[in-house]
Amino acid sequence: MKLDAKVNMAIIGIGLIGSSLARAVHHYDLAERVALYDLDPLVRQRAQELGLGMVCETVVQAVKDAELVVLCTPPSSIAEIGSQIVGALKLGAILTDVSSVKVAMIDQLAPIVPDHCFFVPGHPIAGAERSGPDAGFASLFVNRWAILTPLNDSRHGYGEAVVRLSRLWEAMGAKVELMDPMRHDQVLAMTSHLPHLIAFCLVATAQDMETLTDSEVVKYSAGGFRDFTRIAASDPTMWRDVFLLNKDAILDLLGRFSEDLTALRRAIRWSDGATLFSTFERARKMRRDVIDAGQDVDAPNFGRDRR
């Protein structure tokens, strides 16, 4: 879909999400101007070489004329970036973010956003194991969910800001959902954070085993372990921040997961095939539910090239 009018946009942080956002905005012709900033001068230089937008040398320079500012930096840097830009945000500007933790972002940003701006927290549920400005691609958000967690803000214009941001994500091919921030963090703890934590832990354990098996873990990697290593290749800075900022929801889930894992361990020890089969059957059904919901494809080898 097309927007009613193009916007002047600033993207702060030019990693996978930031560079994909810049590419998508250009591809769908959604912005009058895209200003970019990243703390790393080498990243700024690469973004300039790739032609992702107008690369700025300071974050204030990037946001000063922007009608929409998107924070795509690691969660731990959001508060510092926010404090640097709030004095430069123009009248009526919309400020949003892409972090997979929402309550912590709201706690850090909402108190410092000036009254003449609208803060609409967001999270596109899209990503890949690669990072950096070269990793982005314009179709990253197509048929993916973009969750917005609006504040309880009754000011005139706030509802319109939510609508405008929703339309922008939809124009890039995403499906938009509005959600309570705490509910978002609980849901994402299950669908994203806990799986990543398990992957990081399993691969770290396998690395420790390498010295005992003379590198046979890597040499004979099967599909299951290979997929865990793909998840574990994700940006360690971002995931460190996620686990620390959403720790309450993650710890609650870890308690439940530990209990379920103990039950499976007991079933294996006592040769309880019925419990194992029932658990695996329920898990297999959920895989079918994921496919039916359009979140993955029902193709051999998960749709990968079999080379």
- Sequence ranges of the domains in the chain: 7-179, 183-270
CATH architecture of 183-270: Orthogonal Bundle (1.10)
Asked if residues 160 and 120 have their Cβ atoms less than 8 Å apart, the reply is: no
Task: Dump pLDDT digits (tens) for 206-264.
Answer: 887 766 655 677 777 666 777 788 888 888 888 899 999 999 999 999 999 999 999 99
Angle at 72 between CA 202 and CA 229, to 5 degrees: 15
The DSSP annotation for 104-152 comes to: HHHHHHTTTS-TTSEE--EEE----S--SGGG--TTTTTT-EEEE---S
Contacts of residue 253, Cβ cutoff 8 Å, sequence gap at least 6: 189, 190, 193, 194
**Per-residue pLDDT averaged across 2-31, rounded?**
89
Total residues found in the chain within this entry: 307
CATH 3.40.50.720 fits 7-179, yes or no: yes
Instruction: For residue 172, name the pLDDT band (cuts at 50, 70, 90).
Output: very high
| Short-list 140, 134, 119, CA closest to 14 | 134
Asked if residues 47 and 36 have their Cβ atoms less than 8 Å apart, the reply is: yes
Amino acid identity of residue 61, one-letter, is: Q
Gap between the Cα atoms of 122 and 147, Å rounded: 6
Question: Does pLDDT of 126 surpass 60?
Answer: yes
Instruction: For residue 307, name the pLDDT band (cuts at 50, 70, 90).
Output: very low
pTM for the model: 0.87
